[in-house]
Structures are given as structure tokens and as C-alpha cells.
Amino acid sequence: MSELIKLGRTDLHVSRICFGCWQMGGTYWGEPDEHNLTAAVRRAIDVGVNFFDTADAYGDGLAEEILGRALKGVSRDKFVLATKVYHHWLGERGSKRVGDLSYEYIIWECEQSLRRLGLDYIDLYQAHSYDYLTPLDETARAFEKLKKDGKIRYYGCSNFTVEQLRYACSVGSFDTIQPRYNLMDRRIEADILPFCLSNNIGVLVYSSLQYGLLTGKFKGSETFNDLRSKNPEFQGQRFKENVDKVNQLIPIAKRTGKTVTQISLRALLEHPAVHCTIVGIKNSQQIEEAAGAMGWNLTREDYYDIRKIFP
């Protein structure tokens, strides 16, 4: 069931579930299966997901290329596309990268993203991280130039602290932020989310399922050959304890008639500051399940029962 929301003070009307494209880059998640990813993108639109989030950094442009091919032929008014800029790679794909939000780089790299995506404009262009060498007023000037030229509609940031966001808002129209947020990591509730609520800033959160941990599909004995292989949350006793906690969501999911994945996502969407949650997708089944988090609400009792599991 579709559920659209106006993204903060922008005029973008986006689905509460956003199709995350990190997996398309292949860097940390194994070789991308373009056939399955393309089918998932098309299925997303069928099930009411119109929002896609990618970045030039995902596979050094590969994710943008795959997404662009997947959306080819889809009417431009059927989707909203967000991408990011920051990681300036020095040479060929897979080479060393440095942070860069300088005026010249943003202007140039936006053209590269548009070319890879096969689009005339980007709906939401985001600073992927904070560049300590570039004053944000310079970054804002580049974004404003791109807006004036019709290359982007809105701009925002990702991975900024609340102080960095406050600085950004003082020098430009940073309309959105993309922070990490899930049931096991709720730090942004203390500062970023209240700031966004009071300033009508659009919030699209990532890592919403903690690399799949909050789907409820693990037993605690699995091993991994992707970026989770070095993540302590997925190792040994800590992994088993995490799985035990997630399994406590099963009775709540059953009484709501939803899956563990769906209530994990819905609990994030219930926060009044959160507009959308980004879900990393590899296939059609995953986007169908994620889309099932839209169009309904948790009761107050269920919401607080869920939070108690992850103090």
C-alpha cells in the first residue's frame, strides 16, 4: 500500500519507504545482479515506492549507472531520485578517494552523475559527508548554481552532526538530512530529530534494518563474506544476543499481522520528524516486503513495547 509524504519544506512528494541503492555498487555487498536489481526497481514502482536514493560513491558510479538503466523508459513524473556527492576518486574506478565538497568539484561531478543516471535533473542532491577543508558557504554556492541552472531541484546533507547541520542552514537552503537510524541506534533522537522538527527539515534515514539484523531472518550462527564479516554486531556471542533481542519482535509482529522487517521499519516512521526510511534492496521480494511497512500505524502500546526491547 502506497503512502506518500511531503519531504520537509520541499515540494517533493515521496513514498515513506525509499529504495536504497548501496547494494548496486557491489563494493561491500558482492557482485551486483543487474537483472534482479532492475526487476526490483520496476517492482518498487508497482508497489507504490517512488523514491530512490543512490550516490556517486556506490561502486564509484556503478550504482548510478545501473539505476539509470533500470529507470530508462519510466516516466520522469513516476519517480523521485536522490544522489550524493563528496567522495572524489583519484583515477579509475576503485582508486583512492578523498572528501571534496569544493565548488568546482560539485559542479563537475553533478554532470557526471546526470550522465550516469541518464537524467536531465536530480530531485535531491546531497552532500554525502562533511568536508573539513571546504567552507560550507562555498558548497552552498555550488548547490545554488546547480539549482539556478535546473540541474537539481533541492539539496541537503548526509552524516552531518546537529552543529554541522545548523551551520549548513545558516549559509544555504539545506532542505534535508540523511542520518543513520534504526531500533538499535537511536542517537539522533536526542538532537538531530528535534532540530529537524523545529526547522521543517526533511529526514530520510538509512541503515534502518542494521544491515539486515532487524529483519529477524538470522539464527545467530551465520557467517558473512560481505562488510558484516568485520562488524562486531555480527560476531560470536554479541551476534547471538542481538538475534535473541530481535526475536522478541516476533510476537508483536504476529499480533499486528506484519513481519519483523515491517514493524522494525514502521517504528522508525512513527517518529514525527522522520519522513522516509531507506531500505537497501537486492531483489523484488525485499522491496515488496519493505513496501508493506507503509499505509498503517503501530499502536502506542506496540510502539513502546518495541522500544523496550532495545534500550
- Active site residue ranges: 58
Amino acid at 12: L
The DSSP bridge pattern shows strands 122-127 and 152-158 to be parallel
Q: What 3-state DSSP class applies to 25?
A: helix
C-alpha cell at 24: 548496486
Asked if residues 297 and 255 have their Cβ atoms less than 8 Å apart, the reply is no
* Distance of alpha carbon 142 from alpha carbon 110, whole angstroms: 10
Host H or E run for residue 301: helix 300-309
CB-neighbour burial class of residue 311 (10 A; exposed 0-12, middle 13-18, buried 19+): exposed
Asked if residues 75 and 81 have their Cβ atoms less than 8 Å apart, the reply is no
Render the burial of 175-194: b for 16+ CB within 10 Å, e for the rest. bbbbbebbbbebebeeebbe
Length of the chain: 311
Q: At what angle do helices 62-70 and 34-46 cross, to 10 degrees?
A: 50
Q: Who's near 171: CB < 8 A, 6+ residues apart? A: 135, 136, 137, 140
| 177: β partners | 157, 203
Amino acid at 220: G
Dihedral pair phi/psi, residue 275, rounded to 5°: -90, -45
